[in-house]
Amino acid sequence: MYSTSIQQRTIGVNFTATGEASVVLWAPLLNHAAIQVAGKNTLPLTQQDLGFWQLTTHELQPHDRYKFVLNNEQEFPDPTSLAQPEGVHGFSEAINIMDFAWTDENWQNLPLADYILYELHTGTFTPEGTFEAIGTKLDYLKKLGVNTIEIMPVAQFPGTRNWGYDGVFPFAVQHSYGGARGLQRLVDICHQKGIAVVLDVVYNHLGPEGNYLGAYGPFFTDKYNTPWGNALNFDDAWCDGVRQFFIENVLMWFRDFHVDALRLDAVHAIKDFSAVHILREIKMHVDLLMQETGRTHYLIVELDLNDPKFINLVTEQGFGMDAQWIDEFHHALRVAATGESTGYYSDFTGISHLAKAYQDAYVYDGQYSPHRFKKFGLKAEHNPGQQFIVFSQNHDQVGNRMLGERTSQLVSLEMQKLMAGAVLVSPYVPMLFMGEEYAEPHPFLYFVSHTDPDLVEAVRKGRKAEFAAFHALGEAPDPQSEATFNQSKLQWHLLDEEPHQTLFRYYQALIQLRQTNPALKNLNRHHLDVVCNENTKTLLLHRWHENQHVLCLLNFSPEVQSVTLPTYASNWQKLFDSAAPEWNGKAAAPDSISSGIGITLQPESLIIYQND
């Protein structure tokens, strides 16, 4: 069908062992293609089969800048560019991506079940907003107990301020963050410190500004409508070149950047009715790469379909994705904690749905969804716990609020501790959102730095229209304003103040408990019972591994509640208590208690007992 290589990129500008530049361009509808090297010559490319153009030359060297000339008329940056130092409209820079001195030859990716994820945005995680600055915070993350960072998208976008989902050069690392070399250095130092790296990538759309893919060929199709316009062309005429483009992108991150896992954005928005779905084909190529290198890589998807086909094995006719985000766990937890009932939260009842999320992963697995006005989802009975990633906050759930409020600004400190505990005692892979571990009060707002005035105004009007019903809260912050971006940065000095310091220690202790307690660490979804009481807003989660049993008691009520411990074990010893004085709590529970005895739960609290 088309050619891909496990060893190196087969598209774009790459350099051979003898120093020649190999130029391969996919542009099937052109009559003529050439490469213009800044300050040098314009060199014609030779037409090949299946829409490819090719050139091998010594006249293009690393660090040279270049553009492609299409049909002797228009000049555009390279769609597979590895560097855009002049921004999305400027010249591309040739880079020998293979020429990096890695020191992580002994690194082995962590088991997915052991991941403690920490989602961060490069631009707002540190004052500097660079990969190098992230490296200075790795010891802090290790101290917290985090062993995996998840970096929001870094594909080159317009300007220097963006969430990353407006990227338009999937192969080019954002120049203002530190570019390709900066990302390689960050991954290398992460591996030195025992931290895995997940990179967020976007294969369902491209941003609006600087998106030149359409000039090169049929990268998009009008067969399907998406929230971003025409869909990427994964199954229409000439789709083979598009599929190769994104498969090569996946392989590049794993092979050339040593990234451990990719998080694929909103895969439900990928439209593909091919006999082999693009996700399934990506998985097959990644499997080949892992066989050759001996390294392990994971594919994690954001999925809003509750369809286990995406995470079922390829041998079981699934797409083979290793894990997925579970927004429904977040929604049920948020409703239990706050009682919110607008939008998609209207589908969730709180405690009972949180109990179902613990038990079944999907809350909706065939029931009627009032918000969607239809039955929704399938059961995920045979998928292990490590295939589901849960959280109380993430960039979407915070940043898509009009004012970008974090949980720290919406609930009490006690409820923050309870929500953290609810995530970390789950039989799933937990993820934190940067700053939640110390109750960062700054919002995480939506921000852009487009250069097209008409586009800027359209984005502003779109945000205002989206939140028109919330006018009582004031105006939506201006996404284009640098102040909006700066307001979203973490305030690291707060770690020296209370209650931030105590909350950090609280997260630290909970993470350590999860990592060291076999009943919490082993993600066996079948070794789990859960009982809830809607009236008292309490939930009892029982998990076990071999002879060790753990009982987690969660009280989402603002009142003191009494619960009776089940009788399947006799004596319970306390492991953790969010209401203990060391966490600024109101009153500690007994250190030991017998089954069948009533126990008092403080408002908005978590207690964990163990029985061996």
| 205 annotated as belonging to a binding site for a ligand | no
| 496 flagged as catalytic | no
Give start and end residues of each alpha helix (H) in 499-605: 500-516, 518-521
Residue 235 annotated as binding?
A: no
HEC string of 238-267 equals CHHHHHHHHHHHHHHHHHHCCCCEEEECCH
Q: Is 88 annotated as a binding residue?
A: no
Residues 137-173, buried b or exposed e (16+ Cβ, 10 A)? bbeebeebbbbbbbbbbbbbbbbebbbbbbbbbbbbb
399 labelled ligand-binding: yes
Asked if residue 572 lies in contact with residue 611, where contact means CB atoms within 8 angstroms, the answer is: yes
Candidates 302, 308, 285; CA nearest to 153 is 302
395 is in an annotated binding site: yes
Q: Phi, psi at residue 36, to the nearest 5°?
A: -100, 115
Answer yes or no: is 328 a known binding residue. Answer: yes
The answer to whether the annotation marks 266 as part of a ligand binding site is yes
Nearest Cα to Cα of residue 98 among 160, 26, 16: 16
Beta-bridged to residue 74, according to DSSP, are 70
Cα separation, 491 vs 435, whole angstroms:
8
- Residue 175's CB is within 10 A of a number of other CB atoms, namely 19
Q: In the annotation, is 454 catalytic?
A: no
Residue 353 in marked binding region: no
Q: Is residue 50 helix, strand or coil?
A: helix
Is 330 annotated to bind a ligand? Reply is yes
Whole-angstrom distance, CA of residue 153 vs CA of residue 150: 9
Catalytic option among 265, 307, 347, 365: 265
Residue 329 marked in a binding site? yes
d(CA 291, CA 322) in angstroms, rounded, equals 16
Q: Among 93, 248, 302, 365, which one carries the catalytic annotation?
A: 302
Q: If you search the block for the tokens 């019972």, which residue do you land on?
A: 529
Determine the Cα–Cα distance for residues 264 and 291; give it in Å rounded to an integer: 22
- Ligand-binding annotation for 360, yes or no, is no
Structure tokens at 395: 């960039």
547 has binding-site annotation: no
545: Cα within 13 Å, side-chain hemisphere:
12
CA distances from 357 to 189, 246, 311 (A): 36, 33, 17
Is 527 annotated as a binding-site member?
no
Q: Residues annotated in the binding site for substrate, as ranges?
A: 263-268, 327-331, 395-400
Q: Which residues are annotated as a binding site?
A: 263-268, 327-331, 395-400
Please give the positions annotated as active site.
Answer: 265, 302
